[in-house]
Structure 1
Amino acid sequence: MSSSDNCFAKCILIMISLVLIYCEDHIFQTPGVLRAFVGESVSITFSNWSKHLKSERMHVSWWRSKQVENPVCSITYLNDSLIQSPLCDNRTSVILKLNAGVTHFIIQDLQMNDSDLYYCKIASYIPPPTIEIEGNKTSLIVEVPPMVEVTFLPQPENSCCVQLVCKAENFYPGGIQLRWRKERTEGSVWIDSKTTIASNNSNSATSYVNLSHWKAGDVYSCLVNHSMLQNPLIRNLTIPFDEQREVGAYLWWVLASLGLIPISVVVYLLLKRSKKEPEDNQTYVNIGTTLRTQIPVANQNCNRNSHSNYSFIRHFPLRIYENTF
């Protein structure tokens, strides 16, 4: 082995030794950046502090930047027992391993508002004096893809024209881009739009497009770019009808209906009058007619010249109009 190779090997060994010495004298909070999805569980570790603290009473607490008044969760070591703080809810817990000099902070069922900077504080009270150690911060990023909805407003509040609205909600991180375009047979045309972004516990962004000219069947697309999306998210919106023509047709229909009402009334009255007949004063007279008929009766015990007379009265109705007399 040449002298140059020996020199290089010695340099490597020296660097490794320096790293080990540095690690022995320093504490670590890992990881520096932690990314996870909603509903998952994460663990942050604070280690290599046992040589700095030889305590009979120790308090380990985990904090976040958005909550400086009280820790998120903590645990106390006293008389060889561990006491969990009531500040810990059902999603957070602290694990303390004294022999290994390691503590873990666990968050279960992550929510979007859990995104923050987290750090650990360790305080030793017995024996005095009090010694405090604070770890470096871990950035927890709870990633949530946006929920996108597109709507069509025929009568926007500003009474300008038809308005297209593309709204993205409940996403994290906050950076997002919304753009509108009109789909055509020969290609797509980008449309100028106005976007408003609200950054709070529930991020939201809204893009507006005002259309003064449109027709039924036009297709518009909202494209959403976000760090949680591998490809842009596209939501299509088809104009269902022509608002101007629809309103005009509706007005004509109303006017025509109002005009037909008086015409229908007049026709009804005329038809009713034409079906009504004049009253007739009628008198029925019975005319009696007497018929005398001679019927011979053949009988050996009767007189051949004997006969019977029968009289019949027949009634004939006769209509007589009074104005003829």
Structure 2
Amino acid sequence: MLPRELQLPRRETKLLVLLIFLLCCSEPMIQTTSTALSSKMVSALQGETVKAVCAQNIEETEGFAITLRRNSSSTELCYIQLGNFTIWSRNCTERINLEYDKPTKGFYVVMERVSVKDSGVYSCILDKTLPPPVRTQSQSNISLTVSALPVVEVSLASSSPIDKETTLTCSAWDFYPGDIQLSWSKGSQLLTNSTRNDSLFHNSNGSYSYISNLVVSKHDWNEFAQFSCQVNHSTMKMPVVKNLTLTQSEKASLDYTLWSLVIVFGLLAILVAIIVAKSVKLRFKSTSPSSAERGLPETAETHPPQESQSDTTYSLLTHYPGSA
């Protein structure tokens, strides 16, 4: 029994008891959800299939749902509902799917034929849907970077006997990221100040292309000269080198020109022959009437030669009666 001076008034005591009771009763009604957030970095080359962990260590899947979105967008790229490790419903876009792996008890995001445009951050959310309300169990972010190897080509852009210089072109197509190293050399000599109008292009699919033009004088462009274009990119294990020599380029150009001329003249000769033949045939038909039009019988008859008119008159006079 407390001393009288330490005892609370009856009214304050009731209020304190009521407050303690409300706190004790309201504690089970407060819902707390622990969400585990993880992030993963994934790299791939264009055209490959990517498989990344979406959710793992799932002991049971009764009443669960998994949603995949990109860059915190509200658009769902893939959504599945689960019940006792069985997929109740699935709605995924083209090339994207969610797969369950029993040995690891995890769900994986599978993206087929990835391209540079697929680069970005994807969020994978695991929700407990039963019993309601919906509770988020885990969320993981997948940062995907898709790179693309450059396609390297070297060619003779322009050259003729009257030109004082020749232009060689080295092209690197459809690569990502945009940083690239390109250099020219003649034999073992590095050429640094002979390029003209080099250009870096940003393609519509998110990749890049680079074109370099090397100007070579006729003095340097001789039969024994070999020019090389070297391209280095972060996606390559080692640089790519493309070579071009005078004999290769000029012989190919000459052969192509000769064959083109032969084909063109051959087609023209055939066309002229056809036109001439048709013209002769039409002219023969128009100038040569048929046997019916000329009034001749099909088989000709032979008649003996006839006497002249003077011989006939003389014969009549000699045989006239009474003539002496």
- Alignment TM-score, normalising by the size of structure 2: 0.51
Aligned to 1:141: 145
The 1-side partners of 2:88 and 2:177 are apart by 36
Q: Pick the aligned partner of 2:131 from 102, 127, 130.
A: 127
- The 5 A counterparts of 1:13-32 are 27=36, 29=38, 32=40
Letter of the structure 1 residue corresponding to residue 55 of structure 2: S
Aligned to 1:41: 49
Identity of aligned residues (%): 24
The 2-side partners of 1:130 and 1:160 are apart by 77
Relative distance call for 1:98 and 1:26 in structure 2 (3 A) is: farther
The answer to whether 1:64 aligns with 2:73 is no
Query: How far has the Cα of 1:183 moved from its partner?
Result: 2.6
Query: How far has the Cα of 1:60 moved from its partner?
Result: 1.1
Relative distance call for 1:29 and 1:88 in structure 2 (3 A) is: farther
Query: How far has the Cα of 1:234 moved from its partner?
Result: 1.0
Measured against aligned partners, the alpha-carbon deviations of 1:72-121 in whole angstroms (never above 9, x if no partner) come to: 222123697523434333x4321357998732212244445444332212
The answer to whether 1:189 aligns with 2:191 is yes
Question: The residue matched to 2:244 in structure 1 has which SS?
Answer: strand
**Contact 1:57–1:78 (CA under 8 A) maintained in structure 2:** yes
Question: The residue matched to 2:92 in structure 1 has which SS?
Answer: coil
The answer to whether 1:222 aligns with 2:224 is no
Query: How far has the Cα of 1:154 moved from its partner?
Result: 1.3
Aligned to 2:287: none
Hey, which of these two has a bigger chunk of helix by percent? 2
Aligned to 1:107: 111
Letter of the structure 1 residue corresponding to residue 36 of structure 2: I
Q: Pick the aligned partner of 1:205 from 203, 210, 216.
A: 210
Question: The residue matched to 2:181 in structure 1 has which SS?
Answer: strand
Question: The residue matched to 2:177 in structure 1 has which SS?
Answer: coil
**Contact 1:226–1:232 (CA under 8 A) maintained in structure 2:** yes
The 2-side partners of 1:171 and 1:196 are apart by 11
Relative distance call for 1:68 and 1:28 in structure 2 (3 A) is: closer
RMSD of the TM alignment (CA)? Answer: 4.1
- Alignment TM-score, normalising by the size of structure 1: 0.51
The 2-side partners of 1:50 and 1:79 are apart by 11
- The alignment of Structure 1 onto Structure 2 pairs a total of residues equal to 210
Relative distance call for 1:95 and 1:189 in structure 2 (3 A) is: closer
**Contact 2:155–2:168 (CA under 8 A) maintained in structure 1:** yes
Letter of the structure 2 residue corresponding to residue 175 of structure 1: D
Aligned to 1:231: 238
Relative distance call for 1:55 and 1:222 in structure 2 (3 A) is: closer
The answer to whether 1:173 aligns with 2:177 is yes
Question: The residue matched to 2:187 in structure 1 has which SS?
Answer: strand
The 2-side partners of 1:26 and 1:123 are apart by 10
Query: How far has the Cα of 1:224 moved from its partner?
Result: 0.4
Unaligned runs of 5+ residues in structure 1 are 1-24, 247-325
The 1-side partners of 2:164 and 2:64 are apart by 67
Q: Higher relative CO (CA 8 A, sep ≥ 6), structure 1 or 2?
A: 2
- The 5 A counterparts of 1:80-91 are 81-89=86-94, 91=95
The 1-side partners of 2:138 and 2:167 are apart by 54
Letter of the structure 1 residue corresponding to residue 82 of structure 2: Y
**Contact 1:29–1:46 (CA under 8 A) maintained in structure 2:** no
Unaligned runs of 5+ residues in structure 2 are 1-33, 255-324
**Contact 2:61–2:85 (CA under 8 A) maintained in structure 1:** no
Query: How far has the Cα of 1:131 moved from its partner?
Result: 3.1
**Contact 1:166–1:207 (CA under 8 A) maintained in structure 2:** yes
**Contact 2:63–2:128 (CA under 8 A) maintained in structure 1:** yes
Q: Which has the larger radius of gyration?
A: 1
Question: The residue matched to 2:172 in structure 1 has which SS?
Answer: strand
The 2-side partners of 1:48 and 1:92 are apart by 19
The 1-side partners of 2:117 and 2:76 are apart by 16
The 2-side partners of 1:59 and 1:160 are apart by 71
Relative distance call for 1:180 and 1:80 in structure 2 (3 A) is: closer
Relative distance call for 1:101 and 1:26 in structure 2 (3 A) is: farther
